[in-house]
Amino acid sequence: MAELIFSDLSREFDGIPALKQINAQISSGEFVALLGPSGCGKTTLLRLTAGFDQPSSGTVQLGGRIVAGDGHFVPAEARGIGVVFQSYALWPHKTVFANVAYPLEVRHLARATVAARVTEALELTGLSTLRDRMPAQLSGGQRQRVALARCLVFDPAAVLLDEPLANLDLALRASMHEAFVMFHQRTAATMLYVTHDQSEALALADRVAVMKAGVIHQFATPEMLYREPVNCFVAGFVGDGAVVPVQQTGPRSDAGISVRVLGQDLICTRATDAPTHASIRPEAITLSGEAPLRGRVTACTYLGGRFRIILDAAGETLVAFSTQRAVFGENVGITLGRVWAFRDQDGQPS
Amino acid sequence: MDRLLPLILLPVTLIALGPVARLLVEGVGFGDGFTTNHVSTVLARPSTGTALRNSLVTAGVGTVLSILIGGAFAYLVAFTNVRAKGALVFCLMVPMMIPPQITALAWMQMAGPSSTLLKIVGLAPPLGSPQPLHSAGGIILLLGIQHASLVFLTLRAGLRMIPAELIEAARMSGAGPARVWMQTVLPLSLPALVAGGALAFVTALGNFGIPAMLGIPAGYLTMPTLIYQRLVSMGPSVLPEVAVLAMVIGGVAIAGVLLARLALRQRGFGLVGLSGSTLALGLGRARAGVEAGLWAFIFVILALPLLALLATSLIPAYGVPLTFGTATLEAWHEVLVSQPVTRRAYGNSLMLAGGAAGILLLICLPLAWVLKRRPSRITHLLDTLVDLPYALPGVVLAIACILTFLNLPFTDRTLYGTVWIILLAYLARFLVVMLRPVQAGIAQLDPAMEEAAASVGAPLGRRLRDIVLPLAAPSAAAGAILVFLTAVNELTVSALLWSSGTQTLGVVIYNLEDSGETVMASALALSIVMAVVALMVLVQIGARRFPKGVIPWQS
């Protein structure tokens, strides 16, 4: 349980910046996801936090102590941070029990204490019957649980997870979600979870930091990211929907701001003056026969319980949900509901 | 610990590169001020030119032979459906692990008027006719066979990089097997073929055992045997001169190594696709014939010479025909039990090989870790240069070691004539034999294994002991066995460094044959071959426990 603070944190590799002046504060016990496409710097940030790598400039603070930067460097083994690796990194020459016991052996705990705590960790992760197996004899999900137990056993101040579900199939992911939540409740550790899968990030995290090209674009709760993205990248990367250009047509009031979008005059909710784009989520679109804004159906896929319909309207591509199947080429009326407008001068939706 | 570990680079550099550096300064007259006198005297002497030409001819033509044999085996094993590939490859590798002087001895027992084997079948040429192998042709033949496996291994590694889809695409386009080989396989594998050829050339150039056994009796000297003869007959006073000779042959060898590296680096075809899948072009009805040919060839180069060696080792005296009446194990008893010289040689060689393997094991684990996990410009340079003592001809390293340890720096003591100079030379020469497998083992360790140990609180020392050591142990064991195998038979280095009491097995076999004790030499040689093959089989049995790329005869 420790607070994690990044201040002006930068990392360059051979002169090429991988992280640019990251500033972020993660409260003690918080579950934070780092979300972004590959190469965005999220793994670099995780490795700096773990102590596997040193920052080019800026600092990392853990529990009020500078652990990297500013002339200090606490090596990984002295930080008390647990890491769950994408490859699990179980030691192939040790049994499940020995893998989980190793963190305690390194701490020179009495043998009885080690046995008791390992047994407890294995029970919590549902591995009690597998304690004498070698890692090679385990399935992917079981290996993941061993990696979790190995972190759980030494009560780390923070736990870093590097794409832990990337190598598992869909069915296993759901059960691992539960394991992570159990783990978080049990340890109350600060958790930093790296992923490129937005549904994972939105489902698990208290807050999500959306990264691209070494910069955190938005750091907010999942619902905030979905409802009020700050720019075109976040709007396009998180959640479904469309990003379209808008023009301000009138002054702003308490209700919102008057804009012209897709040839329609509308009042948008907004964060800033002079918005340039709007994020239209599927829930904001109602399809009807008569509405003046017309769209042509270009695709229709069944999602179970509803249809996802892609529409071509006023030169833009929109996404809508409908309970009824639409036919390719069909002309439908579109009514816009709640639309979020933001300012992003050089933005292109991702 | 993290600060201390890189310090291991210092002794390694001194041991591996010190002698070679010392040799370089000797040539330009170290101690007497800069001079080119030695260089000009030695180079002007006609014997130098003759020996250099002989070396280039035997190594060059021998290499062509190696390419033909190794290439044929590699293409057939990699791309056709011949059966029992594993056994074929193992048998082709045995000549590489049998020391060259034993190969020469065995072949000599197969040809010539005194061949016990030929006498049994009544084919021996009349007494007084010359031994046909005592000639340039004999040297070329044996060099070609001895180093065919080097071409084979390099080429097969290259062939494995060729995706099977490329071959299948060529066949789909309508090309028959011959066209596929000419227009797809050969061009794509040419860099590997060139690299393998260069490797065989460099090794043949440095070979001492074969030209010593076959060339010296015929007065046909190559560079290594010229150096040996001058040093043995004149003593350390000719050191500055032989140093120049050593540098000449060393220069040619390094040029060969650079050519091999260049060829491998320029393989840049950017092969895309799934590689490593085994492809089996059907040979159809020709298969049985091809297989018979391959096995007949193995029989001739491997079984026949060893049978000849066995036959000779069983007769009471050289020249006596082998019959049920004359067969005796006397020579075996003599070399293994009675003779103090051979027993001491066994002891020396086992001690030297075991000591070298053990010391290198201790050095190479931390060294390989530093090279991999703490890379810097210095480690890259060292990584390249440690090849030098192994790639250089053995006589060159031996001369370098004599120069370095004749007068120990800062003392008036000498290591020349002691067993320690041989041990130091072995450490320098076989460092890379140990280092490469350990490096291969550590390279295959996911860095996350060590990071995981760090994140749960294990400091570097414990990570090395608990994680790296157990996981790299199989490759380290394979490396140690390789060092032992190579060192226990070694002749080239010890031929120049031995003195009374410090003979190695290689030296004793050579001396026995040289003084006419061919029967005892054969018995001793065969006992060594049996030990070598037993060790190889042992490694082969454990092959699945070793990481890929550790065992030289597997890839």
Percent of chain B with pLDDT over 70: 90
Positive or negative torsion for Cα B297, B299, B300, B305: positive
| The pLDDT value given to residue A211 | 93
Q: How many CB atoms sit inside 10 A of residue B45's CB?
A: 14
Residues of chain A positioned with their CB less than 8 A from the CB of B470: 93
Q: In what order do the strands lie in the sheet with A65-69?
A: A16-26, A4-13, A57-62, A65-69, A72-73
Give which of A47, A93, A95, A143 to mutate to test B binding, by max B Cβ within 10 Å: A93
Cα–Cα distance list, B327 to A239, A333, B105, B119, B310 (Å): 90, 108, 20, 14, 11
| The pLDDT value given to residue A276 | 87
Mean residue pLDDT of chain B comes to 80
For residue B547, give how far its alpha carbon lies from the nearest alpha carbon of chain A (Å).
Answer: 14
Enter the ipTM: 0.78
Mean residue pLDDT of chain A comes to 87
Q: Do A87 and B470 touch (CB under 8 A)?
A: no
Tokens 């800026």 belong to residue: A58
Number of domains in chain B: 1
| The pLDDT value given to residue B195 | 81
| The pLDDT value given to residue A168 | 76
For residue A67, give how far its alpha carbon lies from the nearest alpha carbon of chain B (Å).
Answer: 14
Residue of chain A whose alpha carbon sits nearest to that of B472:
A93
pLDDT of residue A297 exceeding 80? yes
Q: Do A106 and B467 touch (CB under 8 A)?
A: no
Q: Is A269 helix (H, G, I), strand (E, B) or coil?
A: strand
Q: Do A89 and B452 touch (CB under 8 A)?
A: yes
B551, part of any domain: no
Q: Do A82 and B455 touch (CB under 8 A)?
A: yes
Q: Could you give the angle at the alpha carbon of B16 between the alpha carbons of B15 and B18, nearest 5°?
A: 65
B285, part of any domain: no
Residue of chain B whose alpha carbon sits nearest to that of A106:
B458
- Return the percent helix, strand and coil in chain A, to nearest 5: 25, 35, 35
The CA dihedral of B479, B482, B484, B485, to the nearest 10 degrees, is: 170
| The pLDDT value given to residue B289 | 87
Strands A215-220 and A207-212: antiparallel
pLDDT of residue B270 exceeding 60? no
Characterize B249-260 residue by residue with b for buried, 16 or more Cβ atoms within 10 angstroms of its Cβ, and e for exposed: bbebbeebbebb
Question: Element (H or E) spanning A318, and its range?
Answer: strand A316-322
For residue A314, give how far its alpha carbon lies from the nearest alpha carbon of chain B (Å).
Answer: 44
B325, part of any domain: no
B411, part of any domain: yes
pLDDT tens readout for residues A116-163: 999 999 988 888 899 899 888 888 888 988 998 998 888 888 999 988
Q: Do A103 and B448 touch (CB under 8 A)?
A: no
> Domain residues of chain A, as ranges?
4-230, 240-342
B94, part of any domain: yes
Chain A / chain B CB contacts < 8 angstroms: 66
For residue B449, give how far its alpha carbon lies from the nearest alpha carbon of chain A (Å).
Answer: 5
User: What's B238's DSSP letter?
Assistant: G
Which superfamily does CATH assign the domain made up of A4-230 to? P-loop containing nucleotide triphosphate hydrolases (3.40.50.300)
Q: Do B471 and A93 touch (CB under 8 A)?
A: yes
Residue of chain A whose alpha carbon sits nearest to that of B2:
A75
B33, part of any domain: no
pLDDT tens readout for residues B170-223: 777 777 777 878 887 888 888 888 888 888 888 888 888 899 888 888 889 898
Which superfamily does CATH assign the domain made up of A240-342 to? Nucleic acid-binding proteins (2.40.50.140)
Residues of chain B positioned with their CB less than 8 A from the CB of A157: none
CB B69 within 8 A of CB B144: yes
Residues of chain A positioned with their CB less than 8 A from the CB of B455: 50-51, 76-77, 79, 81-83
| The pLDDT value given to residue B554 | 60
State the CATH number of the domain containing residue B484: 1.10.3720.10
Cα–Cα distance list, B33 to B37, B99, B403 (Å): 11, 41, 17
Domain residues for the domain of B420 are 5-27+49-270+330-545
Residues of chain A positioned with their CB less than 8 A from the CB of B446: 87, 89
CB A175 within 8 A of CB A17: no
CB A113 within 8 A of CB A104: yes
Residue of A89, A90, A150 lying closest to B451 (CB–CB): A89
